[in-house]
Amino acid sequence: SLRRCFGVNREEPTKSPVIEINQLSQFFRQGQTRLEILKNVSLKIRAGEMVGLVGPSGSGKSTLLHLAGLLERPSGGKIVYKGQDCELMTDNERTKLRLQEIGFIYQFHHLLPEFSARDNVMMPQLIAGLTKNEAANRANQLLNMVGLSERGDHKPSQLSGGEKQRVAIVRSIANVPQLVLADEPTGNLDPLTSTQVFEQLRSVIKGGKLSALIATHNHQLAEKLDRIFKIEGGSLVEL
Contact range with ligand ADP by CB under 6 A, out of 10-18, 50-58, 134-142, 169-177 = 50-58
Which one, 175 or 186, has the nearer CB to Mg ion? 186
Which one, 37 or 174, has the nearer CB to ligand ADP? 37
Among the listed residues 22, 25, 62, 140, the single contact to Mg ion using CB under 5 A: 62
Least distance in angstroms from the C-beta of 39 to ligand ADP = 13
Which one, 56 or 147, has the nearer CB to Mg ion? 56
Contact partner at residue 37 from ligand ADP, Mg ion, none, CB < 5 to 8 Å by partner kind:
ligand ADP
Least distance in angstroms from the C-beta of 227 to ligand ADP = 18
Contact range with ligand ADP by CB under 6 A, out of 51-59, 100-108, 124-132, 192-200 = 51-59
Least distance in angstroms from the C-beta of 102 to ligand ADP = 18
Which one, 61 or 164, has the nearer CB to Mg ion? 61
Number of Cβ within a 10 Å radius of residue 130: 18
Among the listed residues 52, 60, 103, 185, the single contact to ligand ADP using CB under 6 A: 60
Which one, 64 or 210, has the nearer CB to Mg ion? 64
Contact partner at residue 63 from ligand ADP, Mg ion, none, CB < 5 to 8 Å by partner kind:
ligand ADP
How many residues form the binding site for ligand ADP (CB under 6 A)? Answer: 11
**Those residues with Cβ within 8 angstroms of residue 237's Cβ, 6 or more apart along the chain or in another chain:** 229, 230, 231
Determine the Cα–Cα distance for residues 164 and 179; give it in Å rounded to an integer: 21
Cα angle for residues 147, 119, 50 (degrees, 5° grid): 55
33 binds ligand ADP (CB under 6 A): no
Q: Which residues of 137-158 are buried (b: 16+ CB within 10 A; e: fewer)?
A: ebbbbbbebbebeebbebbbee
Terminal-residue alpha carbon distance, the chain: 30
Among the listed residues 4, 14, 23, 28, the single contact to ligand ADP using CB under 6 A: 28
Which one, 81 or 106, has the nearer CB to Mg ion? 106
Residue numbers at the binding site for ligand ADP (CB under 6 A): 28, 35, 37, 55, 57-63
Binding residues (CB under 5 A) for Mg ion: these are 61-62
